[in-house]
Amino acid sequence: MNGVILDAGSFDQNDLITSSLEASLENWHWHRSTLPNQTMARIAGMNVIVTNKVAITARALESASLQLIVIAATGTNNIDLEAAQRKAISVCNVRDYASPAVSQHVFSMMLALYTHLSDYANAVREGRWHQSPVFCLLDYPINELAGKTLGIIGYGNLGKRVARIAQGFDMNVVIAARPGTTTIPSGRVSFDELIHTSDVISLHCPLNDNTNNLIGHRELKRMKSGAILINTARGGIVNESALVEALRTGEIAGAGIDVLTQEPPNNCQPLLDGDIPNLIVSPHNAWGSIQARQRLIDEVADLIKAFRNGQARNLCLPD
């Protein structure tokens, strides 16, 4: 069987053991990246595609002889699942491989914002500690997570892991019911209540029609003025222009953002203006620990092997 990896550079920086993936098919074609106008030519004659973020459209599938598409990620929005189903192409994704890395990143951002860690590090580099009349610097407010309320939107494996870690910091954890639902399940609070009462809000939901612009002007205005927002889920869940306005006017106290609506961003991205206070933006790398990426590549290999043995796993179907 012939296989192609369309964007290996998005998960392998030549620092992973790839032998299991290499052994899963007889013939591989590896590409570090693939532009949209290259996709059709690269998948022609292939039986298996591995893609992280390269879009596989209905048009790309028209003349393809594919049997299997493996998404080297969890999100499926870059694949036309209906077109794949019409052509009897199986689509599988990799699940829960990055929860340790992403949850760690969530708290890295949370702690950095609560302690003004980067501001203090910059102060030391600028020589301000040398000039202090006392032994320390306390120029920026340092707050504790203990006793604060963490609101989690999206309570899958990752949301549950973040909740467990938060309890270790003595935080109170509340979990949102699905936005728009009329009944509130036991152990949950309404979306509006979570927005209004949380000191920290962490997003772990998928991007879809129900969650696009989930956090916009209305929600940011209803948040506590001392609250912070963490988004390691998907760009588009947070209205970026509304967030910029909320940070500049002090409607909320800070934000940690790992995902943008366009990646890589262009020069017009509002969250990358240099004068936005109390904002940390990381380059969609919350998931990218060496260990998580190794789990990813090993699971891709396992999914291919299972498919070839007639035991397809993690099948993705259209809604």
Query: Which residues participate in catalysis according to the annotation?
Result: 234, 263, 284
Q: What is the 3-state secondary structure (H, E, C) of 118-140?
A: HHHHHHHHCCCCCCCCCCCCCCC
The residue type of 216 is: G
**DSSP conformation class of 18:** -
Sheet arrangement for strand 90-93: 27-30, 2-5, 48-51, 68-71, 90-93
Q: What three-state secondary structure class fits 242?
A: helix
- How far, CA to CA in Å, does 151 sit from each of 185, 194, 197, 233? 16, 6, 8, 14
Among 249, 242, 245, smallest CA distance to 225 is for: 249
Q: What does each C-alpha distance from 157 to 95, 102, 239 come to in angstroms?
A: 9, 11, 25
| Contact partners, residue 5, CB within 8 Å, separation at least 6 | 28, 29, 30, 31, 50, 51
> Could you tell me if residue 71 is left (phi over 0), alpha (psi between -120 and 50 degrees) or otherwise beta?
beta
Torsion of CA 135, 141, 160, 316, to 10 degrees: -110
